[in-house]
Amino acid sequence: MALFEARGLHLRFGDRVVLEDISLSFEAGSLSGIMGPNGAGKTTCFNVLTGRYRPERGRVLFDGQDITGLAPHRIARLGIARSFQMMNLFDDFSVFENVAVALPATRRRVADPVGRAYADPAVAAAAMAVLARVGLADMADQPAKSLPYGARRALEIAVALAAGPKLLFLDEPTAGLGSDGRARLARLIRSLKGQLTIVVIEHDMDFLFGLADEIAVIHWGQVIARGTPAALKANPWVMASKLGSAA
């Protein structure tokens, strides 16, 4: 059974249909992609999947539970983490602190969320373990604002991982990254594969083709194609495009 499933999502803003009958499902442990041209409705779709918008019709099921219309923080607590196109980090905190505050163990200390939490060796070890997973252990003491752009992306993923999610959504993770940064990010995401279920929303076809097990293509607020990268790449128009000739 799929870990996450969306059935017949329909959403409109005023007179406009922005999502028309979108159905998607993600198997546990898989790495899935959602791609589409700019303005195709990817982020809107993402916002429905992660609970920021409530669909007018349709259902979102996670781990056997109907989560349609649940508040985003409740969805997060069930084990779904998401990153944002605009990065949300505490710039004045260190890399370590950014992850430490996102750990459930820290979050439970309501009265003292940051202060002495790090003194707890278990918290420190958990934060360092998360940083090691994204390759930032060496930079633990640096302030977040001093990180290069690509490392900020990795830290953002670390913050999402700190909550111990079963499912991680990444929204346009390559935004603002050059080709080196993209390659490093692809390696990082690939290294997480199998540890949890990952869904990457991307405009960059090339990036997803090298990464995902299965991809859904969204345009006009609808799923216009889906399949494995190999199947999608076999499309004659993809082969004839810049991407196909480069691959």
Partner 1 sequence: MTGAPGSAPLLVLDGVAKLYRRGLLARETAFRLDVDRAFAGRQIVGVLGPNGAGKTTLFEMIAGSNSPSRGQVRIAGQDIHRVRYRERDRLAIHYHQSYQVRRFRRTRPAFLMDRAASPYPLVHLFDEPQFNTQDGYIGFMLDFFRRLRDEDRLVFVCLHPTAPFQLDILAEICDRFLFVAGGAVAGFDRLADALADPAVRRYLGALADRGP
CB closer to partner 1 out of 100 and 223: 223
CB 144 within 8 A of CB 93: yes
CB 154 within 8 A of CB 185: yes
Among 205, 208, 211, 212, binds partner 1 (CB under 8 A): 205
Closest CA to 125 of 166, 96, 158: 96
Q: Which amino acid is at 166?
A: K
Locus of tokens 């779904």: 80
Q: Which amino acid is at 158?
A: A
Decide: is 17 part of the binding site for partner 1 (CB under 8 A). Answer: yes
| Contacts (CB under 8 A) with partner 1, residues 206-225 | 217, 219-222, 224-225
Residue 59 CB, shortest distance to partner 1, in Å, is 16
Closest CA to 36 of 55, 19, 57, 59: 19
Contacting range for partner 1; rule: CB under 8 A; set: 15-23, 44-52, 70-78, 124-132: 15-23
Distance, CA of 166 to CA of 65 (rounded, Å): 14
Residue 42 CB, shortest distance to partner 1, in Å, is 11
- Which positions from 24 to 63 touch partner 1 by CB under 8 A, shown as an x/- string? ------------xxxxx-----------------------
Question: Which residues are near partner 1 by CB under 8 A?
Answer: 12, 14-18, 20-21, 36-40, 205, 217, 219-222, 224-225, 232, 235-244
